[in-house]
């Protein structure tokens, strides 16, 4: 940020990082530490994105923003937009993820539910941005996302009694892991880390295209790795086609001596239950996926018992939180369609004051 007046903070950060002694004894991980991001305002590490990215957008003079997300980023952004003046947002999400949008209706937030998969949601958001002249938030390639997400790791590195040997994080597109890797590289250059920890990216078996490509030694996601119908309890990381981001995640893991792996649903649920029993921490299935990766590697003997392990618990469930009741359902047109003289989604008015006059 160039000017302090453009800096906004929405109460995120300063989350606890502690030794999980009870869980560690049961799992054979005596030097296990957990960074608990579920204590952020919307129970997600994505709150860090909202503070950094919205501050940056406002500094750049962006008044209209379009984003696509399956829940955590959307909720964090919507909360942030509702707390400040000068920016309004159109938010696109798959219709099946409506329950993960946890914010009240507000005049500055327009919600669009898309009948389609992840690529269809992104395509709908881009078309809307082109039509209205708004700025696309950028998703994985929004540098402000990485700058926000890396802060969880910088905090953890400062909180730990000793630097970690291994870091585990669940990944869908992998923005959080890449942000953490960037932070670790910067701390290494500053002399605040003696060496890079090994970054371990963990996916669930029902949606593990990166893990599949990694096992094959593939430098890119190939058609055979894409998951057409992603399934699994960890909804926040259901990304069936991470072709654009995979090379970056692969580089971070390989450069640091880590890897990409997957765990099954039974492992995720067992670890989630054990964490609550031993540490009293309730997290979402995505957080449990990361921890299950560490447990599996220790069980297989790949992770040394003496290793100092940091697991980023990226969030918790938002039970009983509100969902937006005013929204526009968007049905993408078949490719090659000519509705309104163009292919893609029809031009429609959303039930919100945000972008109120863009319809023909």
The DSSP secondary-structure symbol of 149 reads H
Specify which residues 109 forms β-bridges with: 89, 106
Q: Where are the domains of the chain?
A: 4-44+145-313, 47-141+321-341
- Calculated CA dihedral for residues 200, 201, 202, 206, nearest 10 degrees: -150
The DSSP secondary-structure symbol of 245 reads T
Is the pLDDT assigned to residue 345 strictly greater than 60?
Answer: no
Give the residue carrying structure tokens 């590195």. 157
Q: Which residues of 198-213 are buried (b: 16+ CB within 10 A; e: fewer)?
A: bbbbbbbbbbbbbbbb
Write out pLDDT tens, residues 203-233.
999 999 999 999 999 999 999 999 998 999 9
Helix %, strand %, coil % of the chain (to 5): 40, 15, 40
| CA–CA distance, 134 with 261 (Å, rounded to integer) | 38
The DSSP secondary-structure symbol of 172 reads S
| CA–CA distance, 168 with 350 (Å, rounded to integer) | 40
Is the pLDDT assigned to residue 93 strictly greater than 60?
Answer: yes
DSSP, collapsed to helix, strand or coil, labels residue 323 as: coil
Give the residue carrying structure tokens 């409506």. 98
| CA–CA distance, 35 with 170 (Å, rounded to integer) | 13
122 phi and psi, to 5 degrees?
-60, -40
Write out pLDDT tens, residues 6-48.
789 999 999 999 999 999 999 999 999 999 999 999 999 999 9
| CA–CA distance, 114 with 304 (Å, rounded to integer) | 45
Q: How many CB atoms lie within 10 A of CB 127?
A: 20
Specify which residues 33 forms β-bridges with: 19, 310
Q: Specify the CATH class of 47-141+321-341 in words.
A: alpha beta
Query: Does residue 136 contact residue 66 with C-beta atoms inside 8 Å?
Result: yes
Query: Does residue 103 contact residue 75 with C-beta atoms inside 8 Å?
Result: yes
Q: Is the CATH number of domain 4-44+145-313 3.40.50.1100?
A: yes
94 phi and psi, to 5 degrees?
-60, 140
pTM here?
0.91
The pLDDT value recorded for residue 333 is 65
Write out pLDDT tens, residues 128-175.
999 999 999 999 999 999 999 999 999 999 999 999 999 999 999 999
DSSP, collapsed to helix, strand or coil, labels residue 103 as: coil
Q: 47-141+321-341: same fold as 4-44+145-313?
A: yes
| CA–CA distance, 169 with 152 (Å, rounded to integer) | 12
Q: Residue 180's closest CA among 139, 147, 210?
A: 147
Q: Residue 80's closest CA among 44, 53, 112, 43?
A: 53
């Amino acid at each position: 940020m160039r000017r302090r007046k453009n800096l906004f903070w929405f109460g995120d950060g300063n989350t606890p990082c502690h030794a999980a002694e009870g869980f560690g004894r049961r799992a054979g991980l005596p030097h296990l530490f957990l960074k608990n991001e579920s204590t952020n305002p919307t129970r997600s590490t994505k709150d860090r994105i909202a503070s950094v990215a919205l501050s940056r957008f406002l500094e750049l003079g962006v008044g209209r923003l379009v984003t696509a997300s399956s829940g955590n980023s959307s909720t964090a952004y919507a909360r942030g937009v509702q707390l400040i003046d000068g920016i309004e947002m159109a938010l696109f999400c798959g219709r099946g993820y409506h329950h993960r949008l946890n914010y009240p209706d507000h005049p500055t937030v327009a919600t669009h539910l898309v009948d389609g998969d992840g690529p269809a949601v992104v395509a709908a958001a881009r078309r809307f941005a082109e039509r209205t002249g708004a700025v696309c938030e950028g998703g994985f390639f929004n540098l402000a996302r990485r700058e926000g997400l890396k802060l969880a790791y910088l905090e953890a590195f400062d909180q730990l009694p000793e630097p970690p040997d291994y870091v585990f994080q669940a990944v869908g597109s992998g923005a959080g892991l890449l942000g953490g890797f960037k932070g670790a590289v910067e701390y290494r250059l500053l002399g605040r880390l003696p060496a890079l920890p090994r970054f371990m990216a963990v996916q669930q078996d029902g949606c593990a295209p990166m893990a599949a490509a990694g096992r094959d030694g593939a430098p890119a996601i190939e058609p055979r790795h894409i998951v057409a119908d992603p399934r699994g309890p960890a909804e926040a990381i259901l990304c069936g086609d991470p072709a654009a981001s995979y090379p970056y995640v692969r580089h971070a893991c390989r450069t640091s001596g880590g890897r990409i792996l997957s765990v099954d649903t039974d492992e995720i649920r067992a670890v989630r239950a054990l964490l609550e029993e031993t540490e009293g921490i309730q997290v979402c299935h995505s957080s449990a996926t990361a921890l299950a990766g560490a447990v599996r590697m220790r069980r297989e003997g790949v992770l040394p018992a003496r290793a100092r392990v940091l697991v980023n618990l990226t969030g918790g469930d938002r039970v009983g939180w509100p969902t937006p009741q005013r929204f526009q359902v968007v049905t993408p047109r078949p490719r090659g369609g000519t509705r309104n003289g163009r292919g893609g989604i029809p031009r429609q008015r959303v039930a919100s004051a945000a972008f109120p006059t863009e319809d023909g």
